[in-house]
Structure 1
Amino acid sequence: MTTILVTGGTGTLGRHLTERLRAAGHEVRVLSRHAQPYAVDLREGGSGLDAAVTGVDTVVHCATSPRGGDEKAARNLVAAARRAGVGHLVYISIVGVDRVPYGYYTSKLAVERLIEDSGIGWTVLRATQFHDLVLTVLQGLAKLPVMLLPARVKDQPVDVTEVADRLAELAQGAPAGRVDDMGGPEVRTFDSLARAYLKATGRRRAVVKVPLRGAAYRAFREGLHLAPEHAVGKGTFDEFLAKRAGARVVRR
Structure 2
Amino acid sequence: MARILVTGGTGHLGRLVVPRLVRTGQEVTVLSRSPHAAGDGVRYLVGDWDTGEGLTAAVRDADVVVHLAGDQLHNETVAHALVRAVREAGTDPHLVNISVVGAEKVPLRSGFDRRVLGYMASKAAAERVLEGSGLRWTNLRATQFHELVLIAARALAKLPVVPVPSGWRSQPVAGDEVAARLVELAVGDPQGRVPDLAGPEVHSFRSMIRDYLDAVGSRRPTMPVRIPGGASRAYAAGANLAPDRAVGKQTWAEFLAAREPSRS
1:52 paired to 2:67: no
Residue 46 of structure 2 aligns to a residue in which SS? Answer: coil
Aligned counterparts, 1:85-96, within 5 A = 85-96=91-102
CA contact (8 A) 1:49 1:77 kept: yes
Separation (CA, whole Å) in 1 of partners of 2:50 and 2:132: 19
Residue number in structure 2 paired with 1:8: 8
Unmatched tracts of structure 1, length 5 or more: none
Residue number in structure 2 paired with 1:73: 78
Residue 65 of structure 1 aligns to a residue in which SS? Answer: coil
Aligned counterparts, 1:87-236, within 5 A = 87-101=93-107, 102-236=117-251
User: Does the C-alpha gap of structure 1 residues 152 and 69 become closer, same or farther in structure 2, counting only changes over 3 Å?
Assistant: closer
State the identity as a percent: 52
Corresponding residue to 1:83 among 78, 88, 103: 88
Q: TM-score, normalised by structure 2?
A: 0.89
The residue type paired with residue 71 of structure 1 is E
Residue 155 of structure 2 aligns to a residue in which SS? Answer: helix
Separation (CA, whole Å) in 2 of partners of 1:193 and 1:39: 38
Q: Cα deviation per residue 1:103-151 (whole Å; 9 max; x = unaligned)? A: 2211111110110111111100000000111111111111111111011
The residue type paired with residue 234 of structure 2 is A
Shift of 1:35: 4.1
Q: Cα deviation per residue 1:73-108 (whole Å; 9 max; x = unaligned)? A: 211111112333132111100001110124221111
The residue type paired with residue 13 of structure 2 is L
Separation (CA, whole Å) in 1 of partners of 2:180 and 2:50: 28
Unmatched tracts of structure 2, length 5 or more: 37-43, 108-116
User: Does the C-alpha gap of structure 1 residues 140 and 41 become closer, same or farther in structure 2, counting only changes over 3 Å?
Assistant: same
Residue 104 of structure 2 aligns to a residue in which SS? Answer: coil
CA contact (8 A) 1:53 1:86 kept: no
Shift of 1:238: 1.3
Separation (CA, whole Å) in 2 of partners of 1:51 and 1:43: 15
User: Does the C-alpha gap of structure 1 residues 35 and 168 become closer, same or farther in structure 2, counting only changes over 3 Å?
Assistant: farther
Residue 103 of structure 1 aligns to a residue in which SS? Answer: helix
CA contact (8 A) 1:42 1:74 kept: no
Aligned counterparts, 1:18-57, within 5 A = 18-36=18-36, 37-46=44-53, 48-57=54-63
The residue type paired with residue 129 of structure 2 is L
Residue 98 of structure 1 aligns to a residue in which SS? Answer: helix
Residue 129 of structure 1 aligns to a residue in which SS? Answer: coil
Separation (CA, whole Å) in 2 of partners of 1:104 and 1:59: 22
CA contact (8 A) 1:82 1:120 kept: no
The residue type paired with residue 39 of structure 1 is V
CA contact (8 A) 1:3 1:26 kept: yes
CA contact (8 A) 1:31 1:39 kept: yes
Separation (CA, whole Å) in 2 of partners of 1:35 and 1:196: 39
